[in-house]
Every structure is written in structure tokens, then in C-alpha cells.
Structure 1
């Protein structure tokens, strides 16, 4: 197992603790993180800083809070160090700017690229990754708003801008259609409406915590995204429809007066309905109980 995979595994465990509102065992995981020599690349790719920060906010254990703060502080130094290093390298170049603000600007630029590592260390959120298509950019903006419907994203320390971009692009929603046509908009609209549904918070929380991947949410059907309450209602309606269908099949009066043209059997059921004027005879509908063939007898 590589270092990135090891850190990512710990991050997932911390996220699950936050989701279940139970941080028992978090201290051991934080101690394990402390023994790992963390690199800037690992911080950015695993986003473990968000997981640690979420545990720090939720845990009531003073030792967990202290260790989490220590880890975040050490990672912040790593980020700041990378910014200073790049700034010094820029200053040593023959083409460097003479303004004193150039180094500060370069350092701020480097730090801004690392905003998604430890969000609690900065005051602003990263902007939404944009494309050259206005419709796609608008969809990403709506996805961010849907993910931020409640304060769950703060609890999980989720980067809603990044998640929105992944749902729209990396999950191949856009690639499926190759254009922002009506089908593309309908599919995005379905995801947005379900994510911001106040009666279905579990879907949004599972996406924010990573339990449902961006690839998965992009391909889920409306039935799969529905809340448990709505699923139960649909299940009840389905069962009722099945019962009604069965009753319509076996209802009526059994008789051996008719011969089925399909299986030549006489085990039939018939019902009579007044489909014409009152002075006309009723229409007889016959169903073979053996093979299911239906016909009308006039």
C-alpha cells in the first residue's frame, strides 16, 4: 500500500466517524497520521485535512481536538513553506519583478492553490472550476448550491466546488451527451433537485462524505436517489397495482361454457360489462385461467 493509499484509507475512516456522529477511535487514527511524513502532494490528492478538521469540530475529546489542531498546524507550515520556496525561486530569476509585492503575490497564489487541503486555515473558498461553456458553468453553480443546502458540507469539510465539477465532468454526465441539449439539462436538473431536497438529506450527506461517489451519483436513477419515505410509498403503490392486476385476472364468474382458442381448455372466467346503450345486451369478456388468453364474446 502506497503512502497516498494509506492516508486516503485513514481519511475515509474519519469521514465515516463524522457521518455516524461517533468519533470513538479517532485518536488512534490521528496518532497514525502523525507518524506519517506528509507531503504537499499527498495532502492535495487525499484531502485528509478536511477529514481531520471535521473530526476536530465534532469530537468532544480534548485530546482528539488538540492532536487534530497540531496536525493541521504542521500541514499549514508545509503549505506556507511551499509558497515561500516558490516565491524565493521566482525572486532569484533574472526576469524577476522589482516590486516588493511580487514575492507576496506569488506566495498568495501558491497558498490559494492549496485551499482545498485544510479549509479551516483560510477565510475564502476556492472558486468553481469553469469551462468554456456557459450552460455547463451554470449547472456547476446550481450543483454547488444544492450541495450547500444545509450546513452538512461544513461538518464533513467537503469542497462543494470540486464535487460539483466532478459530478458534471468527471462523472461523464457531459460526455454522455456530448452537448448541453435538453437531455443533458434534464439529467442535471434531476441531480440538483434530489441533492437539495430537504426531505432527503441522506443522499446529500452521503455524497458530501464520499459514501456515494461522484461517478455513482451521476448515474443513479430517480428511483435510486429517492428518499426512504418515497421509496416505501412507491413500493406500496406497486404492490397495490399488482394486487389490482391479479384481481382483474381472476375476478368474475368461473364457467366451462367457453372453449379457449389457444389451449382448447374450458377453465375460463367471464365478466359482463354494459359498454353500449341500455337497450343493447352487455358485452362479455372471457379469460382463460390456464393460459391467460383474453377475448370478447358478443
Structure 2
């Protein structure tokens, strides 16, 4: 009996076992297939691969499934890949081996970042460079490096370009451009303030001297929330007291944080004296 005839005989037996769902003898037949010298022509003419795969799916015996998988895997190696498939694999391998290049500056030709991060770096760069000439010993290349380090430090905090990331960038840009706060930018350019530190500073920490002095004055004078709601307050019926539900209130707005943050509103109910604040 030729190899092809033996394969055909085994195929018929395996198909019968699959139909009757009695695969108790299937393992011996699969092992017999493994000993035969099966060529691509025999695989094609007998379609034994389809039969073995169907048996693998229907069998509940783990050893039978394992042997069937091994046969199918070995037979797949006999099937030549199409030219198209080979080309796809070749291109995929090239992509895996090709190193990803990034530039340390936004103007680099290999700047490999998404558009949001690229835009944010440019905003930071413009704020760091400022207007007019750069201070002595500071080049435009250095500004680019600082902008890159600053953006990377901000991105590292959020791992994505979400609203928090964008707000953090905008806050740095605003304070770096603040003409009343030139020392923040100068300290960054001179290396006194690192990009890493600036990326995590609060609005209060970045604020100019005028804002800081204003805060200190509030604290020194003992101005608390209740006093702020009375001093120079504006009467309104647009606000409702959460306690008595009346629309007879007085409010006062004051800048308690840096200029890029919204003002804090202190409210006093003229009916029951309830006080609250919202930003």
C-alpha cells in the first residue's frame, strides 16, 4: 500500500470517528500519520489536514488534541507561502527592525510626536524665548532643549494629552509670558529653575510678586471668607441661598490665586447670614 493510500484509509476512519463522536482509537491513527512521509501532493489530494483539524475540534481528549495540533503545524510548513504573503512579512520585519527616531527639538526633521504634543512644545518654546534678544549665554537651541524637557516632564505626569495635560501646559505658558513676572523665565533660562520643577509648580508658586504680595496682605489683615462677603459687596437676586432658599444675596469677587486662574466669589445671604464661596 502506498503512502497516499494509507493516508486515505486513515482519513476515512477518522471521519467516521468524528461523525460518531467515538474518538477513542483516534490517537493511534494520528500517531500512524506522524510516521508517514507525507508530501505536499499527498496533503492536497487526500485533504487529510481538514480531517485532522475537524477531529481536533470535536475530540475532548487532550493528548489527541495535542498530537493533532502538532501534525497540522508540521504540514503547514509544507505549504509554500504566496509571493504577497512573503512581501507582507518582509515589510513587517522591516518595520520592527527600523528604529524610531525622535528629535530633541521641535524643528528637527524626525520629530516623531503627535500633533497635540508638537503644538504644545511650540507654545512652550515661544514663551521661553520671549520677545527681543535672549540673555547672554543663552542660545535658541538651549531654549528648544528646555521646551522639550518641560513638555516631556508635563506629559510624564499624565501619560496622555488629556485636558489636565493641556491646562498644565497653558498655565506654564501664561506665567512664562507674564511681563510682571520676568524672573520665572530668567530663572528657567539660567538653570536656577529646572524644567522638571517648573512642570510641577502650582499657580501660587509661579505667581508674580504682585499677586504674592496681595495674598500675603489678605492673610496679614486677617481677611476671612465672611469679611470678604461683606466688604464692597454687590447685591444680587441671581444667587439663591442654599439654607433659606431666598434670592437676597451680596457677593464679592477677589483674585486669591494667580492671574491665569478664575476669581473666587464669596457670597453672603442678607436674609439668614449664611456664607459660602465658589470659584
Q: TM-score range by the shorter chain?
A: 0.3 to 0.5
Give the TM-score of the pair, scaled to structure 1: 0.38
Who wins on radius of gyration, i.e. which is larger? 2
Give the TM-score of the pair, scaled to structure 2: 0.40
Structure ranking higher on relative contact order (CA contacts 8 Å, 6+ apart): 1
